[in-house]
Structure 1
Amino acid sequence: MHSRYLSIVNLKPDLRSAKGTRLHRGFAIKVLRIFTLVLLDTIALKLAWKLAVFYGTPLESQWTENSSFQLLILVVGIGMMAIQRLYEPGIQRRNYLELIKVVSLAECFLLLIAFLYEPNRYLSRSTFLIFWLFSIAFISLERWIFDVVINLVRKRGSIRHSVFLITDLEDQENSISLIEKQNCYNLLGVSEASSLDRDNREATFEFLRKQGIVEAFVSWNAIKNRLYISWHFMSAGITLWILPTDKDFLPSKSILSKVGEVACLSIPAPIIAGSSFWIKRCFDIFCSTILLLILTPVYLLIALLIKLDSPGSIFFQQNRIGLHCQQFKMWKFRTMVVNAEKLQSSLEAKNEIKDGVLFKLKDDPRITPIGKFLRRYSLDELPQIFNVLLGEMSLVGPRPLPIRDVEKFKTKHFIRQEVLPGITGLWQVSGRSDIDNFEDGVKLDISYIENWSIWLDLKILLKTINVVFNKTGAY
């Protein structure tokens, strides 16, 4: 019996049990923030009601004479904002569209109460209308002022949360940049994912407790398959943020929701399914037709300059890998000597792309004098508008690559081949040839695929014009 008692005593405590009871480390700042916002909203609503009564049609009513009804106005307004989580930290309290919706809903609820309470008496509709307008204006204004003041104070180092970052070494730079952009954190330290391994876990949490860490940012790779980590953070009174890594491309349109009691990422279906591609295709046909009509004189001039500059054809055709890895002939104005492709093998040792997937050489000896000018302003790409009309390319999309480059792809790179290639893209307006690492370019291509919209295409096209005229990263 005694030995059995000892074995029970020596068992490790319940996973959910903490070493001591304590308040959440950011509790004081949270309470102060909520109290301040509630106080400001109360002042805004009271001022809006006073002005509404003053400027509205004067009618005898319990709403204007009885203080209990004025208290009801405050309770309904602030209560509904609390229900809609408008006192939560971060962007939620700055969601002005949601504020307008909640204030409007609260106004409708108050009108319903007024109608049911005094069905046989007239109410000053102008008073309620003025109150609604002033409520929206004052609450939005005081919250904007609140955020401006908070940001100024935080820039001076106050009202910041002490945070710690745990992530793999290759993801640390991006994660640190993300945290620093928030302007509300003091990053007290960074550790590798191994600090959450079983042997290191206790020492890590002891260190976090001693440092007074309020929130911890942990990468997905550091926390997945470690079932107990979240309980350790909860027991330590530390808010846990899980950061997806660049390798885990979560769709930007995904929404975190629950199916029963299970948290799931969902991607809502559009009202008209399958319409996105046809919208883009119609946009491409319309714009490329207009461009061809406008640029015909430019085509003729470039063709003449190429003929005068060096022997050979005006156009250059090259097999490129397009949609679903299908080959197609991509058209360009010729900018190199006739036997340029045969000479490339002798220049591979001078390739300036670090991982060697692409071939880029700043002072490529194969480029002709007029070719340098055409490349500088990307005029050599203009014939690809014909590829767009034929449906082989789009105006905007990941650039189609030569067979030589695609043969060096890793499995994860082929996602960029699942959309129409483009004349320009997010990669081209974010550095063009200055990006010397293929992985960085792929990240931009995937970001484009995830966030695609007609508006994004328009923005990229406008940025392309700016990049071309500034000759940014072109050679």
Structure 2
Amino acid sequence: MASRTLSRVKFKPDLRSAKGTTIQRGLTIRFLRILTLIFLDVISLILACKLAVFLGTPLESPWTKQTSFLLLVLTVEIGLIAAQGLYKAGIFRRNYPALIKAVSLSGILLLLIAFLYEPESYVSRSTFLLFWFFSVAFICAGRCIFDVTTRLLRKKGAIRYPVFLISDIEDQESHIRLIEQENCYTVQGISDSKCLDRANREQTLEYLRNQGIVEALVSWNSIKNRLYVCWNFQTAGITLRILPTQNTIFHPKSVVWMIGEVPCMTIPAPIIAGSDFWVKRCFDLCCSIILLVILSPVYLLITLLIKLDSPGPIFFKQERIGLHCKKFKIWKFRTMVVNAEKMQKDLEAKNEIKDGVLFKLKNDPRITRVGTFLRRYSLDELPQVFNVLLGQMSLVGPRPLPLRDVEKFQTGHFIRQEVLPGITGLWQVSGRSNIDNFEDAVKLDLSYIENWSLWLDLKILLKTVQVVLRKTGAY
């Protein structure tokens, strides 16, 4: 089965890479909503301030006369409301208790600033209390007017998000009822979980992009065994909302979103799809060039040692299986005798990996004296910087494996081939060669793919230096 899969490979980009510069779908409506809410809050606060000064006890103070202090009031008030997440959609913007709390806290903060900045120029107590009361009343009234207007417009079919439902046939009716409760979606299509199968996935995503779908609402039963689907929606700029079922397990990148009274899991699309991945590629290229310049004396020294130690070429080039099972030549400093690959057949019986997918042998007789030293400090991997420059590898990612290993893959193992392979990865910094079961290594690769971020890559690179210096699990 594995060999058939390899023979049908077509070039595709890394799972985390967008097919083009894609702006998050539905961003315009969200941006206009936030701007409208901020505008209403600013008008409410200005009216509250003017009315409080007019009705309150007159007192000479720069806080009631200078425009700069009004700007400070607006900045503090709006900033605290935003910090509480009250400009988000749905129940967040309608959270009136939290809104009152944010306005009250900002009032106390402004009072403290006024005392510390101008202790001799107070605002009268009546003016302060009236400002607080009018601020709460006007802002809450503004939100209420905004909600009523929004509902009326949505009843007429305006400012609705076009969505696509993917759910098992028996659950579709209940999920549609749930979606209708929110009264902000237009369901433009429905399909069952088969549309997310490997054979249909590309066609489904292309259809969603062409139809201008902003959000995909997917039942947990349709996605739980398809971890890579989350990345496909992200790189398409489509927000993924996972509809709940019993015993739902939350995805690590998810946030909770309410549809009516029901909490649902949402995996939001980035503002610019694939931007993090292209930053990663730029980082790889820059670091590779810097490493080549800095380590050039080390390369020359290793070259000399290999030549003096044993006959044969300096570099070892081996065919490995990379992104989407595409074959490429990986570069290493030679650490074994020239006929090492032929000798492996005689050593298969001594393989220390329990399930036999990988081949590892602690005291491998094929390794040269210099090779032992190079492997202990992972110096044999240094030429793979050229693979990174050629775009065949990344600094961090699942390790590319030989054809012999990939041919023994089960179906679930191929997920690790969906992303660009790396010089180091979560597997390498979590035990290196001490891991004696391929399934454990795959779990680490899956964890990396699921939780990938630029920060995770940096942590793995730093951890790699620590592991290499300690010679943890190296042989």
TM-score, L = length of structure 1: 0.50
Deviations 1:378-430 (A, max 9, x none): xxxxxxxxxxxxxxxxxxxxxxxxxxxxxxxxxxxxxxxxxxxxxxxxxxxxx
Cα distance, 1:30–1:227 mapped onto 2, change above 3 Å: same
**Residue in 1 that maps onto 2:247:** 248
**C-alpha contact 2:100 2:136 (8 A) present in aligned 1:** yes
After superposition, what is the alpha-carbon deviation per residue over 1:334-377, rounded to whole angstroms, capped at 9, x for unaligned?
Answer: xxxxxxxxxxxxxxxxxxxxxxxxxxxxxxxxxxxxxxxxxxxx
Structure-2 separation of matches of 1:43 and 1:66: 17
Distance 1:264 1:189 in 2: 24
Offset at residue 97 of structure 1 (A): 0.5
Contact 2:48 2:134 in 1 (8 A): yes
In the alignment, what sits opposite 1:76? 76
Q: Which residue of 2 aligns with 1:368?
A: none
- Say if 2:181 is the partner of 1:181: yes
Distance 1:132 1:172 in 2: 48
1:60-114 Cα deviation digits (max 9, x unpaired): 1110111100000101111111111111011100000000000000000000000
1:226 alignment partner in structure 2? 226
Amino acid at match of 1:69: F
Summarize deviations over 1:175-225 as a string: whole Å, max 9, x none.
011111211111001100111111110010011011110011001111112
* Aligned-residue CA RMSD (Å): 2.2
Contact 2:13 2:19 in 1 (8 A): no
Tell me which residue corresponds to 1:196.
Answer: 196
Code of the residue aligned with 2:110 in structure 1: it is L
Shift of 1:264: 10
Match of 1:205 in 2: 205
- Whether 2:112 is the aligned partner of 1:112: answer yes
What residue ranges of structure 1 are gaps of 5+ in the alignment? 1-6, 251-255, 266-475
Structure 2 equivalent of residue 59 of structure 1: 59
Which whole-Å deviations, capped at 9, do the CAs of 1:3-33 have from their partners, x for residues lacking one? xxxx9x9653211111111211201101111
- Please give the alpha-carbon distance, in whole angstroms, between the structure 1 residues aligned to 2:237 and 2:254: 22
- Correspondence list, 1:157-176, <5 A: 157-176=157-176
Q: Which residue of 1 aligns with 2:17?
A: 17
Q: Of the two, which has the highest radius of gyration?
A: 1
Partner of 1:237: 237
Aligned counterparts of 1:148 and 1:263: Cα–Cα separation in 2 = 30
Q: Match for residue 351 of structure 2?
A: none
Distance 2:253 2:140 in 1: 36
Secondary structure of 1:187's match?
strand
Q: Partners in 1 of 2:229 and 2:166 — Cα distance?
A: 12
User: Retained in 1: the 8 A contact 2:220–2:248?
Assistant: no
Question: Where does 1:413-432 land on structure 2 (aligned, <5 Å)?
Answer: none
- Provide the residue aligned with 1:91 in structure 2: 91
Match of 1:156 in 2: 156
How many Å separate the matches in 1 of 2:67 and 2:230? 48
**Any idea what the Cα deviations from partners look like across 1:37-62, whole Å, max 9, x if unmatched?**
11110000000000000111111111
The C-alpha deviation readout for 1:301-346, integer Å capped at 9, x for no partner, is: xxxxxxxxxxxxxxxxxxxxxxxxxxxxxxxxxxxxxxxxxxxxxx
Distance 2:253 2:216 in 1: 23
| SS at 1:94 equivalent | coil
**Equivalence for 1:344:** none
Aligned residue runs from structure 1 range 308-323, under 5 A: none
Deviations 1:273-327 (A, max 9, x none): xxxxxxxxxxxxxxxxxxxxxxxxxxxxxxxxxxxxxxxxxxxxxxxxxxxxxxx
Question: What is the one-letter code of the residue matched to 1:108?
Answer: I
Per the alignment, residue 403 of structure 1 pairs with none
> Structure 1 pair 120/224, CA: closer, same or farther in 2 (3 Å)?
same
Amino acid at match of 1:30: R
Structure 2 counterpart of 1:206, one-letter code = E
Task: Note if 1:48 corresponds to 2:48.
Answer: yes
Give the letter for the 2:120 counterpart.
N
Using the alignment, how far apart are the partners of 2:167 and 2:60 within structure 1?
65
2-side partners of 1:173 and 1:74: how far apart?
46
Match of 2:137 in 1: 137
Q: Is the 8 A contact 2:62 2:121 kept in 1?
A: no
Quote the Cα distance in structure 1 between the aligned partners of 2:162 and 2:31. Answer: 17
| Alignment match, 1:26 | 26
For the structure 1 residues 249 and 227, does the alpha-carbon distance in structure 2 shift closer, same or farther, using more than 3 Å as the test?
closer
SS of 2:142's partner is helix
Higher relative contact order (CA 8 A, sep 6+): 2
Deviations 1:229-271 (A, max 9, x none): 11111111111100112x4379xxxxx8x9xx88799xxxxxx
Q: How does 1:297-336 map to 2 (within 5 A)?
A: none
Equivalent AA in structure 2 for residue 16 of structure 1 = R
Length-normalised TM-score, structure 2:
0.50
CA–CA distance in structure 1, aligned partners of residues 205 and 253 of structure 2? 28
1:115 offset after TM fit, Å?
A: 0.6
Following superposition of structure 1 onto structure 2, how do residues 425-444 of structure 1 map, counting pairs within 5 Å? none
Structure 2 unaligned blocks of 5 or more: 1-6, 257-475
d(CA) in 1 for partners of 2:72 and 2:241?
38
Segments of 4+ moved more than 2 angstroms: 9-12, 120-123, 247-250, 261-265
- Write the distance in 2 (CA, Å) between the matches of 1:28 and 1:97: 28
Match of 1:39 in 2: 39
Which residue identity lines up with residue 141 of structure 2 in the other structure?
L
Change (3 A) 1:95 1:264: closer
> Which position in structure 2 is the counterpart of 1:3?
none
Contact 2:160 2:184 in 1 (8 A): yes
- The residue correspondences of 1:310-389 to structure 2 (distance < 5 A) are none
Partner of 2:429: none
Q: 3-state SS of the aligned residue for 2:50?
A: helix
Structure 2 CA distance, aligned partners of 1:109 and 1:195?
53
Change (3 A) 1:232 1:85: same
Local SS of the residue matching 1:48: helix
- The answer on whether the counterparts of 2:64 and 2:123 sit within 8 Å (CA) in structure 1 is no
- Could you tell me which amino acid in structure 2 is paired with residue 112 of structure 1? L
